Amino acid sequence: MDTKIYTLAQKIDNDIKNNTLSEEEKDRLAKELKQLLPDDAIVLAQTNPTSGDIKGNAKKALKWIQWAQRLEVGAIVFPEMYLIGYPIGDFIDRFPLIVEENIEWLKALATKVEGKTKVVIGFVEFNKEKTGKNYYNSIAVLCNGKIERVIRKTLLPNYAEFNDYRHFEPSEIDSKNRITDINGQKAGIIVCEDGWNDFDFFEKNLYKNDPVKSVVEEQKPNYLINCSSSITRAKKEQLKHNMLGFAAKKYNTPIVYVNQTGSGECLSFEGASRVYNKKGELIARAKSYQEQFFIVSPSKGGEIIALPDGLEKTLNEQKAFTLDHEPDLERTYLTIVQSIRDYFQKTGFKRAVLGLSGGLDSTVSAVLLADALGAENVFGISMPSKITSSESKNDARELANNLGINFTEISIKDMFDSTRTKFDEVFSSIEKVWDGRYKESFTNDNIQARSRALILWGIANEFGSCLPIATSDKSELYMGYATINGDMSGGFAPLADVSKTKLFALARWLNKHRKVKNAIPESIIAKRPGAELAINPKTGKPLLAEEALMPYEFLDEVIWRVENLQQTIGDMMQAEFLHEKHMKEQNQPISQEQKLEWLQKFFRRMSTALYKWFIMPPSPIVDARSINKSEYRQPIISSKINYQKTSFEEKLEELK
């Protein structure tokens, strides 16, 4: 297609967002653009809806629709569930009014649909049959003031972050009803997961039927449209790309794929809507992590916009752990920045306050917050205790300067002292009647972490639109190495799905790729992580995290193997870890006893960390799998699970 189309379409994007054009300018732009468009042009409305804000979503849709109508394209296509906003959690079960309202808004929108442009848009429908769940996950085709047809989703995902089958009744495929005429061509409509069950592509399939096959074989459409709300995860893009291309080629039928963008609480959508031709080749792809009024021709294609690094990786790599996080850092950065921005915007907050310890977690958090909210909307507070080194304080200050965020320093020494005095008083009362007082406890460590959180939440109470930030990272959360009501407390936790080794890589990446280079002082990246909450009696210096836990290089591979390969102790004892390889190369081989001890420690600590996962604040899902409660829940009471296989003989022995 003519590249001028994309230049002109950008003006539409800009107008939709900022109302930049007068009616006259709009008409002139439309006229110019119309002449360039191919006969089968349609618009992919890559949009960012807000859960439950039906009025807002409808009003936004109208702007997009009106532009499509001005261009007289055959259709404008919105993502799955656009009108009600995705994700929905369980709110439609408790408030059927919301579904009633989304249907009324759909009808109201239909009155605005005129001319040759159809509107294809996701909404939620009632199931009025006597049997089945209360709702359908549906797509409406609006045409000439009316609802022309409604297509109901057949395959309802119900794993990880998906909860479709909790609320929706699966529909028969009804291939004939899925066909609508667009620009004189037959377009077949499928809904997200409907397109993910090819029996030749997947080794194992979740469902028994395949809507793509039925629609193509029974109706022979000119092309397929897939309306989706599909989140970004490490290495998912390549799977999606391979699968869509495979199906287009297999059926000799182009596939138009429309995906939501923006973030909803813990879920982030990357957009990157696209078109595959009937050879299975990618011929158009929209931007990632932003809304786009994207004009495509199902037969001729459109612009192909490059993906962020990390959206494109081979499928095979999924099976191997690597410490080279480089290829996924751009995607990680964009996912978290979008998540912060949308979480704040959709909940009505605009400013963030966080503790700056001079350590890696708070440092990277500060950079991401500054980029998401604007440096002026971030306040970094250095809150030294008597253990805090002057290096840490200087690092925090330097970072804030480099980022241009607001900064102040306040000692927590007095708060610590008055708390400790009270603790001594109350502990001495209690030990008169209760035994079991620890000789060494984490009490002092935690007073520091909790005093800091007390200050951050106090600031949020005192100043409008302000959220405190929890800075815990994924490696620490697995180990329970985070303080309840301390560093793991906040309104949002940007790093909860980023492991420590990846954080180091991300810090270097940020220094290299942000507009302001090297904002993160090298000394922060170079120092070994430690909470500076206690002194290690062996070294006389602040206790390092790896002394308390295990080498991060090893820990992060354990996490990866648990999440991606579902391995437990026995499997991992068989495998060679990168850390083992590296230490062998340095002539400091890890013994099998040491390895087993670390693995047992991992599962022991994980078992007692389940409670902390339960009360973690919202955080963006970034990795292929996570411990985010939007996708994974393990009962806190399951702490007695044995993650090490026992033999049949041992079992018989236990039953004697």
Q: Active-site residues: which are they?
A: 80, 153, 192
> Per this entry, what is the length of the chain?
656
Binding map of its own copies across residues 330-349, x = CB under 8 A, - = no contact = ------------xx--xxx-
Q: CA 467 to CA 171: how far, in whole Å?
A: 42
- SS3 for 304? strand
Closest separation in Å from C-beta 380 to its own copies? 11
For 118, 133, 251, 263, 268, the CA distances from 192, given in Å and listed in that order, are 20, 19, 18, 17, 16
Q: How many CB atoms lie within 10 A of CB 586?
A: 8
What separation, in Å, do the N-terminal and C-terminal C-alpha atoms of the chain show?
A: 77
Binding piece for its own copies, criterion CB under 8 A, among 25-33, 179-187, 205-213, 497-505: 205-213
Of 30, 68, 81, 88, which one interacts with its own copies (CB under 8 A)?
88
Q: What is the rounded distance in angstroms from the CA atom of residue 61 to the CA atom of residue 71?
A: 16
Q: Establish if 89 lies at the interface with its own copies (CB under 8 A).
A: yes
For helices 23-36 and 54-71, angle between their N-to-C axes, nearest 10 degrees: 60
- CB closer to its own copies out of 290 and 639: 639
Q: CA-to-CA distance for 455 and 461, rounded, in angstroms?
A: 10
Largest CA distance in the chain: 89
DSSP codes of every residue in 554-596: HHHHHHHHHHHH---HHHHHHSPPHHHHHHHHTT-PPPHHHHH
CA angle 33-36-42, nearest 5°? Answer: 80
What residues from 423 to 462 belong to the interface with its own copies (CB under 8 A)?
A: 423, 425-427, 429-431, 433-434, 436-438, 441-443, 446-447, 450-451, 453-455, 457-459, 461-462
Region of 28-36, 126-134, 176-184, 579-587 interacting with its own copies (CB under 8 A): 126-134
We find the least distance from the C-beta atom of residue 445 to its own copies, in angstroms, to be 8
426 or 548, CB closer to its own copies? 426
The least CB distance from residue 566 to its own copies, in Å, is 6
As a whole number of angstroms, the distance between CA 156 and CA 420 comes to 54
| Binding status of residue 589 toward its own copies by CB under 8 A | no
Query: Among residue numbers 166 through 185, which ones bind its own copies (CB under 8 A)?
Result: 166
What is the footprint of its own copies within residues 605-644 (CB under 8 A)? 611, 614-618, 625, 629, 632-643
- Choice from 418, 523, 592, 600 touching its own copies (CB under 8 A): 418
Q: Which of 1, 73, 98, 329 binds its own copies (CB under 8 A)?
A: 98
User: Of 485, 518, 539, 600, which one interacts with its own copies (CB under 8 A)?
Assistant: 485
Rounded-to-integer distance, Cα 259 and Cα 624, Å: 18
Q: Shortest Cβ distance from residue 558 to its own copies (Å)?
A: 13
538 lies in the site for its own copies, by CB under 8 A: no
Question: Using an 8 Å Cβ cutoff, are 274 and 303 in contact?
Answer: no
Is 19 one of the binding residues for its own copies (CB under 8 A)?
Answer: no
Binder among 21, 34, 36, 91 for its own copies (CB under 8 A)? 91
CB of 461 to its own copies, least distance (A): 4
In the set 45, 234, 367, 381, which binds its own copies (CB under 8 A)? 381
| Between 100 and 281, CB nearer to its own copies | 100
Helix locations, 314-407, DSSP H: 329-347, 360-373, 390-403
C-beta of 277 vs 385, nearer to its own copies:
385
Here the tokens at position 469 are 């930030």
Residue list 388-417, contact with its own copies (CB under 8 A): 406, 408, 410, 412, 414-415, 417
Can residue 484 be called a binding residue for its own copies (CB under 8 A)?
yes
Nearest approach, Cβ of 276 to its own copies (angstroms)? 25
Phi first, then psi: give them for residue 535, nearest 5 degrees.
-95, 135
Helical (H) or strand (E) element with 458: helix 443-462
The distance of closest approach from Cβ of residue 619 to its own copies in the complex, given in angstroms and rounded to an integer, is 11
Residue whose C-alpha is closest to residue 380's, from 520, 475, 498: 520
Report whether 67 contacts 51 (CB < 8 A): no
- Which 3 state secondary structure label does DSSP give 507? helix
Number of residues that bind its own copies (CB under 8 A): 134
**Residue span binding its own copies (CB under 8 A) among the ranges 20-28, 92-100, 221-229, 281-289:** 92-100
